[in-house]
Structure formats: C-alpha cells, structure tokens
Amino acid sequence: MILRIAQIKVYPKKGDLEENHGRLLSVLRKVADHRPDVVITPECFLDGYVVTEEWVTANNLVEYAVVPEDSHYVADVMHWTSQAGAWFVLGCTRRAKEGAYNTALVLDRTGRLAGAYDKVHCQTHDSKFCAGSRLPVFGSDFGPFGVMICADRRWPETVRSLALGGARIIFNPTYGMCDARNLCMMQTRSYESEVWIAFTHPGQALVTGPRGEVVTDERAPDVPFVVTELDLAKVDRVRAGPSAHLRDRRPDVYLL
C-alpha cells in the first residue's frame, strides 16, 4: 500500500496556544489539497514545547495543557481531519489529574480520538512531565503503526518494541536535536528494525526507510510542510528477505 504522509514543519511560539493553533490551521488549509493519509505535527506543537523554559515547572505546566475531550483546539483539528479523511498525530501537552503528559493524540479519518501516546523517556526539562508507561501499536486501515516522541528514539528498544508489535511505520513528533548525529541514528533505527520512521521537527522533515535509506530530508525554513509517499509493502519485503533482522533475532541468547 502507498501511504501519503504530510509532516508539518513550522516553529510554534512558546506558550501561545492560540497563535500556534492558528498557524496550524493555516498550514492545514494548504495540506488538504494534497489529500494526505496521515498528518504529523512536531512535539508539543500546541504549546510550542514550552516545558524548556526555566520558569515552567511541573506545577504550572498544566496551564499549557489541554483536556482532549474539552479542547476547542482539538475539536477544530478533529473537524479538519473528518473533512480531509486523514489520520492525524497531534503533539500537545495533555492535562491529567496527576499532572501533565507530553502526548501525541491519534485521530482517525473520521475525526475520532483513536488513542494517545505519552512520551516514555523523560529526562532533564522533560522530567516536569509525567512519564508514559506504554508503547502501544495502533490499528488502522493501512495496518498497524507506532508513535514515539523525540528522545524516545534514542533507545533502540523503543523502535524495536513497536516493530515487534507489528508496526511498519512509526510517526515521531519531535522538537530536539536534528543534526548529523540524529540523521545517522534515525537511519540506524529504521535499518535495525526494518521500519519506516517519519521524524517530524519544526526545522526538519525526515523520513528513513527499512533499509536505512533517506527518502525525505527537508530543512528549508520557508517550507511549512512536506508530503512523502511511502510503500508500506517494502517493509514486508525486507522483513522476508535473506538477511532479515526481526525474523532472525536470537532472543534465546540475549541478556535483555
């Protein structure tokens, strides 16, 4: 199956949900013409990843968080999604009774909230968030897919767990490093687990494939979104090949 993904590549404003929501809707009006199957925003796009600011604490971080079921920002994106017939991975800070989570909301083609992923690996400024405790694989009309957020990619176990769960593509909202080191890391993560990864950063739209190839690497500051078509069946072919990584694992000898 050919999957058309649209990666939003816009720097949001720190702490300004209204401004960022307006920017997103403006870009989405142009994205709709490309009829994407999936749209991905950067990490915590709604609040501009405000957690990095020194004056933000675990206590006041909730002021920038949304309750998905009650948020007009989320409702607007749900409406756009239902009209466009696209899946949507929306980066935001999510409010819960125990605090705030760094979350990617997953909306299906009808605009329904199909689920959410909470960032698992929280260090330094991210320790202000509550950490997630699951690596779910989501079902869809194009097959199972995974979501990870920013630093999650630094742990090979994240991608491997999602791939073993059946994911052929992983959507990766992020706001962190997007340098040469990261490029090598993303190629390696895709190669070792034979999976597509869509790394979506305000300054870079990067897509790496199951052979470690780079199919998209857009960094131009005046490009607000990037559309890429991917052949999901390529993952199946690679995983069935003569030197397949997932198939030929040796968990009987691994210590971890």
Mean pLDDT in residue range 174-179: 94
The whole-model pTM stands at 0.97
Structural domains counted in the chain: 1
For residue 6, give the amino acid letter: A
Q: Which tens digits make up the pLDDT trace of 126-156?
A: 999 999 999 999 999 999 999 999 999 999 9
Q: Which tens digits make up the pLDDT trace of 180-233?
A: 999 999 999 999 999 999 999 999 999 999 999 999 999 999 999 999 999 999
CA dihedral 154, 39, 196, 161 (to 10 degrees): 50
Place of tokens 């994911």: 167
Q: What's residue 227's pLDDT?
A: 98
* CA distance to 34, 156, 184, 243, per residue, from 90 (Å): 18, 23, 26, 36
Residue 26 lies in a domain: yes
For residue 193, give the amino acid letter: S
Residue 252 lies in a domain: no
Mean pLDDT in residue range 159-183: 97
Residue 256 lies in a domain: no
Q: What's residue 67's pLDDT?
A: 98
Handedness of CA 205, 159, 233, 105 (dihedral sign): negative
Model confidence at 256: pLDDT above 80: no
Q: How many Cβ atoms are within 10 Å of 219's Cβ, its own excluded?
A: 12
Closest CA to 37 of 143, 131, 113: 143
Residue 227 lies in a domain: yes
Residue 249 lies in a domain: no
As a whole number of angstroms, the distance between CA 96 and CA 75 comes to 18
78 is in which domain, residue-wise? 2-239
CATH number for the domain spanning 203: value is: 3.60.110.10
Residue 247 lies in a domain: no
Q: What's residue 1's pLDDT?
A: 87
**Count of residues in the chain:** 256
Residue 250 lies in a domain: no
* CA distance to 169, 238, 239, 248, per residue, from 242 (Å): 21, 8, 9, 9
Residue 185 lies in a domain: yes
Q: Which tens digits make up the pLDDT trace of 97-121?
A: 999 999 999 999 999 999 999 999 9
As a whole number of angstroms, the distance between CA 168 and CA 21 comes to 30
Model confidence at 167: pLDDT above 90: yes
